[in-house]
Amino acid sequence: MQVQKVKYVLWAADWKRCLHFYQEMFGGSVSFESEVWSEIVIAGSTIGVHGGGEGKRTWTGLSFQVDDLREGIRRLAECGGSLTCEPVDTAEDPLHLAMCMDTEGNEFMMTRSRR
């Protein structure tokens, strides 16, 4: 047996809105689309979107590392997402982590490398 692909799955009450969010927010490319199951590729990783979700706030463990976190936070609101907690930026610990939520209630992290 050989592993062909690793997928991370999100549930969505509105699967089209969910796909649109990840396309706009992270430049994802939809590789398969249907009402029940869709796939979007972001930075070489596949996220599966399963329709029929309840839209409840759900922690996913999903994390996106970006080169400009401030720009990511600005884009988050433009794309219909939200911050679940305001990030802290101090002289001792520059902004490197934002706790976020997509349009379907799926929580994820957006980070910037600390190096």
In the predicted structure, residue 95 carries a pLDDT above the cut 80: no
Q: Are 60 and 106 in contact (CB under 8 A)?
A: yes
- The pTM of this model reads 0.90
Phi, psi of 77 (to 5 degrees): -65, -40
pLDDT of amino acid 24: 97
Map residue 81 onto helix, strand or coil.
coil
Q: Say which CATH topology domain 7-111 has.
A: 2,3-Dihydroxybiphenyl 1,2-Dioxygenase; domain 1 (3.10.180)
Q: Could you report the per-residue pLDDT of 99-109, keeping only the tens digit for each?
A: 999 999 999 99
72-87 average pLDDT score: 94
Q: Could you report the per-residue pLDDT of 8-61, keeping only the tens digit for each?
A: 999 999 999 999 999 999 999 999 999 999 999 999 999 999 998 998 999 999
Read off the pLDDT band of 94 (50, 70, 90): confident
Strands, sheet with 45-51, edge to edge from the N-terminal-most edge strand? 7-12, 45-51, 37-42, 29-32
Give the Cα separation of 80 and 103 in Å (integer).
6
For residue 106, the surrounding DSSP H or E stretch is: strand 106-111
